Structure 1
């Protein structure tokens, strides 16, 4: 398709710079790039839309592409503002802008340029699927002078045939999390497990309800749920397992990168996150959500005013998000009531009782040949109030201690040392 784009650009330059009279041309939708060709056919893209995608993609394949074509028509150099384009910090070639698209497709035809500019509006496929956009420009500069940017995921898809996972950065304040554990490794009270299974039902069948039952216009998009309970009771593991068994990526939002002391920056960070997550079927997991979703304050100064605006903005984005959003908090009462009214469900993660603690000890202990038979797990479960995370930490510490002391088996003394360490960490009184 690169050759087709060359011909399309030359067609425009022949008309505008050489005053040639030419018949309109179409671009070939077939390509040796399977992913690109399939995408064009699946979405029934028009010629202007195909050309726009190629203009956005080509700098990633041929850095000199635009400069070489322009040099054919302006061999002595010179400024060519009509064509648009800017220089990058590292890229030495010409990077296309919105003006580049309008010039190639419409030349100086004002009415046609206005019509084509609609490709960059919010209701167009490009924005709805976060395919490409025109970068915002400083106040006072023409909107179409912003760089034409294709989303990294589509660049990866059309250049390498696969999509790489986004990585934690200032532009994407979330990190993919996963687990090798199974549902059988998650020890919860029956009431909590039943509520978690309801979320799995939503993930598996909601799209069918929306599409086949015609409920898309009648039910709010997305699903919002609060996981609340003490640390170490399985909230993060549950989110990972929901993703694993429904074929969805789970992204834990790093709130330290979202919240900014600068006015407007928090909204910007959140906007980038939700824009990236749109149409991806991801599960967004806000751990320790109290810091951002906590109770709003009375307005005493400008800082309070903007903090409350951040909460309001977040409410809007969460309500509009079409996927599953999980907020995790140690205490339900810490979350602003404006949020709780909008949750579809609450899942309480209680500290494990004796029966659950016994299951946890059995699930996470090493192979039996590595453990002394003198250890009474029932006694440990009954006497020591530990969460699942505490128990895992205890076994981890005891195992390392056993290896360090060159013992063949993990014994009760090593476990007690681990339990004592967990109690001390949480400020609890340890009694052997």
Structure 2
């Protein structure tokens, strides 16, 4: 399932959430009334009208729709959320069993040390959804276990253990006694404006790659720009390729690209802007987290990464990818053999990936020919020529630089990358601020360039 996570621009009102919670209250009231044989306007809790989230533009509605939550899953989310926003809604579960003068065991739940309200467990969710119907409860158990959308999408927290005994030791109880709680990620989504939809969940080796720049700020040669346009075309139309008679059966599911060229030429920026233009999150993979010295752990990390990327519609970006996907070594030891097995598994997982994967490297020659043939596109990011450097300098200078500064002269004098230009002008502004100047001067910029060139082992 591909999840559209572009919700940060949504209306952050809570109308959809409040409608959903009102529906949950009504379902719960119907469940309790019917269970105790009381008067109820519904023959079954499932008869309570379900809110149409498609008609609501607010954050919760978009979040639930993005994850394609089913009606039972939505009720579980509301049950888990209730102690946070309306604990009194769960007070009906405090009804005591008159026969045994104790709580109803079928309700599950417990009370916390500081929270006076009812805290639900998986048992509570099963009662809400299935009442005391054993067959229905069995059918619903997988909803709360690993492999379900609620657990695998980090919506409910699968980590809390069973409530401890008085000595603090876990009790040997049924799995349904586990506390029911929303994950920290889901809580952040519902509480803080949806940014957590773009946060990489625990255990996934990567971080969100963003940029404040726009597509027009990317200064690359026409050939590079045209190649990037083809990437965007695949994002929008790639699925149609598999529908073409004859061609479709020969195609792999995803799209794999290599950005190659010297440092500072815009490879990382281009990856961020492709995601921004396509309205998809770009996840920069942390190779240090991905590769483990322990046998089998790297494969697990890869599976976690690619599985979550396919679920959420992420674009994956592997910077300095030759460190991971480069030429395989000759086998001189068991460690070499295992390293080559890891590389082989990575390539296999990459080929099976149905989304967009972007690899970046300074040197295309760091990849063996067999691997290069697996890329759908090789996109070159060369050092900028003089007109490109002039544009970059002009863009970075803005309107507060001295009129004596000639961007064309600087572009001719300094043959450098775009990143070097940015850093040089950054140095210049710091010098200007230290001198109490509000206007950038030519000597400050030239000194900035000399500092950057010296850092790179070059002279002006």
Determine the structure 1 residue equivalent to 2:26. 4
Query: Taking structure 1 as reference, are residues 101 and 389 closer, same or farther at Cα in structure 2, changes over 3 Å only?
Result: same
Q: CA deviation at 1:285?
A: 2.3
* Kept after mapping to 2: 8 A contact 1:371/1:410: no
Q: How does 1:246-325 map to 2 (within 5 A)?
A: 246-261=278-293, 266-267=298-299, 269-296=301-328, 298=331, 300-301=333-334, 305=338, 311=343, 314-315=346-347, 317-325=349-357
Aligned mates of 2:252, 2:365 — CA distance in 1: 25
Q: Which range moved further: 166-175 or 235-244?
A: 166-175
Aligned residue in 1 for 2:422: 392
Task: Check conservation: 2:400, 2:440, Cα contact below 8 A.
Answer: no
Query: 1:241 aligns to what?
Result: 273
| Shift in Å, 1:207 | 5.0
Distance 1:406 1:161 in 2: 40
1:361 maps to 393
SS in 2 for 1:386: coil
- In 2, the alpha carbon distance for the partners of 1:365 and 1:170 equals 40
Indicate the residue corresponding to 2:457 in structure 1. 427
C-alpha separation between the residues in 1 aligned to 2:243 and 2:77? 29
With over 3 angstroms needed to count, the CA separation of the structure-2 counterparts of 1:302 and 1:212, relative to structure 1, is closer
User: Which region of structure 1 is more displaced relative to structure 2, 267-276 or 396-405?
Assistant: 267-276
Equivalent in the alignment of 1:58? 82
Name the CA distance, whole Å, in 2 between partners of 1:189 and 1:265: 41
**Distance in structure 2 (CA, Å) of the matches to 1:44 and 1:389:** 42
1:30 aligns with 2:50: yes
2:424/2:452 contact within 8 Å kept: yes
Aligned length: 418
1:387 offset after TM fit, Å?
0.7
Q: 1:372, 1:409 within 8 Å by CA — same for their partners in 2? A: no
CA contact (8 A) 2:155 2:185 kept: no
- Superposition pairs for residues 20-99 of structure 1, below 5 Å? 24-31=44-51, 48-63=72-87, 68-74=91-97, 96-99=120-123
Assess if the C-alpha contact under 8 Å between 2:28 and 2:45 holds in 1: no
Deviation at 1:181, TM superposition (A): 3.0
For residues 64-86 of structure 1, what are the alpha-carbon distances to aligned partners after superposition, in whole Å with 9 as ceiling and x for unaligned? 765x4443135888697765568
Residue 254 of structure 2 contacts residue 356 of structure 2 at CA under 8 Å; is this kept in 1? yes
Deviation at 1:320, TM superposition (A): 4.7
Q: What is the distance in 2 between the residues matched to 1:146 and 1:314? A: 36
Please give the alpha-carbon distance, in whole angstroms, between the structure 2 residues aligned to 1:251 and 1:2.
35
Q: 1:416: which partner in 2?
A: 446
- The Cα offsets for residues 179-199 of structure 1, whole Å up to 9 and x where unpaired, read as 343434322222222211111
- 1:416 Cα deviation (Å)? 3.0
Q: How does 1:110-121 map to 2 (within 5 A)?
A: 111-119=135-143
Q: RMSD of aligned C-alpha atoms?
A: 4.8
Matches within 5 A, 1:321-360: 321-335=353-367, 340-360=372-392
Query: For the structure 1 residues 407 and 235, does the alpha-carbon distance in structure 2 shift closer, same or farther, using more than 3 Å as the test?
Result: same
Greater shift, 209-218 or 51-60, is seen at: 209-218
- Residue 167 of structure 2 corresponds to none
Are 2:397 and 1:377 equivalent residues in the alignment? no
**Could you tell me whether the CA contact under 8 Å between 1:287 and 1:329 is conserved in 2?**
yes
3-state SS of the aligned residue for 1:196? helix
Give 1:54 shift: 3.6
Tell me, yes or no, if the aligned pair for 2:96 and 2:104 is still in contact at 8 Å. no
8 Å CA contact retained: 2:428, 2:445: yes
| Distance (whole Å) between structure 1 residues aligned to residue 184 and residue 318 of structure 2 | 24
Structure 2 residues not aligned, in runs of 5+: 1-22, 162-171
1:388 positional shift: 0.7
Task: Kindly state the Cα deviation for residue 232 of structure 1 after the two structures are TM-superposed.
Answer: 0.2
Q: Secondary structure at the match of 1:427?
A: coil
TM-score w.r.t. length of structure 1:
0.73
Q: How has the CA–CA distance of structure 1 residues 234 and 148 changed in structure 2, closer, same or farther, with 3 Å as cutoff? A: same
Residue matched to 2:194: 163
Q: Give the structure 2 partner of residue 18 of structure 1.
A: none
Q: 1:223 aligns with which of 255, 258, 262?
A: 255
Q: TM-score, with normalisation over the residues of structure 2?
A: 0.69
- Alpha carbons 2:260, 2:362 under 8 Å: kept: yes
